[in-house]
Amino acid sequence: MALRICCDQPCKKYPPCRKLRRLEQILKILEAYIKLVKNSLNLLSFPVGSFACNCSILFSSKTREALIIDPGNDQDFILNAIKQLDIKVKKLLHTHAHFDHIGRSSEISTETGATLHLHKDDQFLYEMLPQQGLYFGQKVGAPKPIDFYLEDEETFSFEDEEIKTFLKTLHTPGHTPGSCCFYTEYFDSPHLFAGDTLFQQSIGRTDLPGGNSHMIIKSIKDKLLILPEDTTVIAGHGPETNIYFEKKNNPFLC
Ligand SMILES: [Zn+2]
Ligand SMILES: [Zn+2]
């Protein structure tokens, strides 16, 4: 079962989006969601932190194992959600090392014991987290070392026997050198967690350190547009989209 709360812009699919912005309201949804889930693999996506980074929690309703893609920069919110969902977070995966996606992962890792995963080409940005935090007006200490470097095509599994190799890593450099997307075919339609590589009718900016405008287009065309057209794209910020819509309507790709 997949529940996606997209709050940045009004959308027809989820009309109450704007009303869901407040933390308490989202947590109420979480509580109700826990009572509903029956499937083995579940997905909960919602914006978190001052820049509304779309965070995704994948978890097994059988074993309660979980992994989080882009926990963002608000550890109180995420730790509260983990408590409400009563899940054991094993891994924190990151699409890239910008502060709004990874800013409080060290704290979340310390609290939960979850391992930190990031592509090695973003290590230089990760080491700059204290400076990035200042840019966002937030004080950040030196981050914990990354436990595992993400590899292209690397897959992830849960101990739940019904959920094996459910998630695949796609290295998609361009927004940053170590940008990655994650892909799963476990739901009604495939899902792509695109980080800041692909947005609804837009692409990630490439004017920040390590960005490359040629590379991001190549990554999207070679790795993302070849995915099934009904793939739901959960972008790093803003509303969801799908591969078919972007092929037809994204001005950067047409
Ligand atoms: Zn970014
Ligand atoms: Zn971002």
Ligand 2: centre distance to CA 199 (Å): 11
Quick check: 34 and 76 in contact, CB under 8 A? no
Ligand 2: centre distance to CA 82 (Å): 22
User: pLDDT tens digits, residue range 224-244?
Assistant: 999 999 999 999 999 999 999
Angle between helices 105-112 and 75-85 (to 10 degrees): 30
Looking at all shown ligands, the one closest to residue 208's CA atom is 1
Ligand 1: centre distance to CA 23 (Å): 23
Q: Where do the domains of the chain lie?
A: 2-249
Looking at all shown ligands, the one closest to residue 175's CA atom is 1
Looking at all shown ligands, the one closest to residue 48's CA atom is 2
Task: Give the Cα separation of 113 and 82 in Å (integer).
Answer: 13
Ligand 2: centre distance to CA 224 (Å): 18
Helix (H, G, I), strand (E, B) or coil at 226: coil
Binned at pLDDT 50, 70 and 90, residue 6 comes out as low
Task: Give the Cα separation of 34 and 237 in Å (integer).
Answer: 24
Ligand 2: centre distance to CA 12 (Å): 24
Ligand 1: centre distance to CA 205 (Å): 8
User: pLDDT tens digits, residue range 125-174?
Assistant: 999 999 999 988 888 888 999 999 999 999 999 998 888 899 999 999 99
Question: Residue 14 has what pLDDT?
Answer: 46
Ligand 1: centre distance to CA 149 (Å): 18
Ligand 1: centre distance to CA 98 (Å): 5
Structure tokens given for 127 = 């080491």
Q: Provide the whole-model pTM.
A: 0.90
Ligand 1: centre distance to CA 15 (Å): 27
Question: Residue 36 has what pLDDT?
Answer: 66
Looking at all shown ligands, the one closest to residue 70's CA atom is 2
pLDDT at 179 over 90: yes
Ligand 1: centre distance to CA 160 (Å): 32
Looking at all shown ligands, the one closest to residue 52's CA atom is 2
Tell me which of 6 and 103 has the higher pLDDT. 103
Superfamily name with CATH number, domain 2-249: Ribonuclease Z/Hydroxyacylglutathione hydrolase-like (3.60.15.10)
User: pLDDT tens digits, residue range 15-64?
Assistant: 445 445 556 667 777 777 776 677 788 999 989 887 889 999 999 988 99
Looking at all shown ligands, the one closest to residue 97's CA atom is 1
Ligand 2: centre distance to CA 171 (Å): 17
Ligand 1 ion: nearby residues, β-carbon < 5 Å: 98, 196
Residues whose CB falls within 8 Å of the CB of residue 97, separated by 6 or more in sequence, listed in order: 118, 122, 123, 125, 126, 129, 176, 178
Quick check: 181 and 165 in contact, CB under 8 A? no
Ligand 2: centre distance to CA 117 (Å): 17
Q: Measuring CA to CA, which residue among 42, 93, 104 is closest to residue 69?
A: 93
Mean pLDDT score across all residues of the chain: 89
Ligand 2: centre distance to CA 97 (Å): 9
